[in-house]
Amino acid sequence: MSTFKAPKGTYDLIPPVSVKYLAVREAISGPLRNSGYGYIETPGFEDVGLFARGVGESTDIVSKEMYAFETKGGDQLALRPEGTASVLRAALEASLHKQGNLPVKLWYSGSYYRYERPQKGRYRHFSQVGAEAIGAEDPALDAELIILADQAYRSLGLRNFRILLNSLGDKECRPVYREALQGFLRGLDLDAETIRRAEINPLRVLDDKRADVQKQLVGAPMLRDYLCDACKAYHEEVRALITAAGVAFEDDEKLVRGLDYYTRTTFEFVHDGLGSQSAVGGGGRYDGLSEMIGGPALPSVGWALGVDRTVLALEAEGVELDIPAATSVFAVALGEEARRVLFGKVTELRRAGIAADFSYGGKGLKGAMKDANRSGARFAVVAGERDLAEGVVQLKDMEAGEQSPVALADLVDEVRARLA
């Protein structure tokens, strides 16, 4: 047995379960690919300053959870804890915002790293599929993203998820609210850490899960009452568009999110079967992020859905994904000559686009048929010396259990016809 293990807070994706992750990534990206989003891939690490400035120095993600390191060349880098800052950095670097229509719509899929306390649904290495629409301030864009996420989850068969929606205001109204909230928080009996948080990022205190803190927060000023007219109108339009699309959501005025770049629309997708790590996805508008990382004003909106938690949500709901067997035909050769001939047929099947596999390792009929069964293949092709002498192979339908000889030369056409 190997003495090495996957690092704490990580796990390996291995067959047969790994195919679920592929299916989830496919299902989430499908609606995006169908809506004008182009694929982008950025490095797994970036200049640490990108996240410090973008995500925010005061967030847990940056202050506690980042895998930051110095390279041999003296560069200060960090494994990416999220995708938005990187995608915007890449779009700015390639001047995508100058090359065509705005918004620039991008989607991505990859690994992210946060040094968190591991528990079910919370890992140090996890996977997201995300979307960013850069350079347009339009409530329809916010609505589009929420509707596409809803479509993705539903296409997977998920039902017990909820969409929480809020507006965090903009650079006009939020500072006024922030001050009012800080004034309120200063009058409470809070621990030192929370008092510090109240000074740096008072909105995060609203998110505190502890009952004694929540009790004191009754009567706290709410952002809703401080939104400026423009933010209010924007939010109402987002709500109206989502409603018109038949997507249900809940207004959650306490929804704050753990990243500092959000303005106006924020939302989270929560699943009720997941316990404490219930957020299967989240996102929102980040109109100031481009300027925060040195770019021009580019109001933008996006989300990221957690692949790991989506798989857990599917399991919690008992949803079995309809994943076709990886192999359609499994070839079993008995004897040296049959081996050569059938191996050639497997190559031919594969070149014809039919998923085929072969019994390797010189197994006898019984062992090889066991492998054929395990592969989930619809057909087994079996041939021995006598079949070859007659110019045939035995084609066995594994579902029906029936077997019939098929001329060697007709095998590919016959399998294709039967699979169709």
Q: Which residues bind ligand HAM (CB under 6 A)?
A: 82-84, 114, 116, 122-123, 126, 128, 130, 132, 258-259, 279-284, 286, 302-304, 306, 308-309
* In contact, 291 and 171? CB cutoff 8 Å: no
| 315 marked ligand binding residue | no
Nearer to ligand HAM, 277 or 359 (CB): 277
Nearer to ligand HAM, 33 or 351 (CB): 33
Of 315, 342, 317, nearest to 331 by C-alpha is 342
- In the bound complex, what is the minimum distance in angstroms from residue 19's beta carbon to ligand HAM? 19
Helix (H, G, I), strand (E, B) or coil at 104: strand
| 74 marked ligand binding residue | no
Token pair for 298: 């580019």
Nearer to ligand HAM, 115 or 184 (CB): 115
Token pair for 226: 């401080």
| 82 marked ligand binding residue | yes
Q: How far is CA 82 from CA 43, 106, 137, 143, 361, in A?
A: 12, 15, 22, 22, 45
- In the bound complex, what is the minimum distance in angstroms from residue 376's beta carbon to ligand HAM? 29
Nearer to ligand HAM, 258 or 384 (CB): 258
| 337 marked ligand binding residue | no
- In the bound complex, what is the minimum distance in angstroms from residue 294's beta carbon to ligand HAM? 19
| 128 marked ligand binding residue | yes
Handedness of CA 284, 287, 290, 293 (dihedral sign): negative
Q: How many Å is the Cα radius of gyration of the chain?
A: 27
- In the bound complex, what is the minimum distance in angstroms from residue 65's beta carbon to ligand HAM? 8
Residues 23 and 360: their CA atoms lie apart, in Å, by: 28
Residues 176 and 181: their CA atoms lie apart, in Å, by: 9
| 418 marked ligand binding residue | no
| 132 marked ligand binding residue | yes
- In the bound complex, what is the minimum distance in angstroms from residue 402's beta carbon to ligand HAM? 47
Q: What are the residues whose beta carbons fall under 8 Å from the beta carbon of 279, sequence distance 6 or more?
A: 268, 269, 270, 306, 309
Nearer to ligand HAM, 14 or 420 (CB): 14
Give the annotated binding-site residues: 82-84, 114, 128, 132, 257, 261-262
Give the annotated binding-site residues for L-histidine: 82-84, 114, 128, 132, 257, 261-262
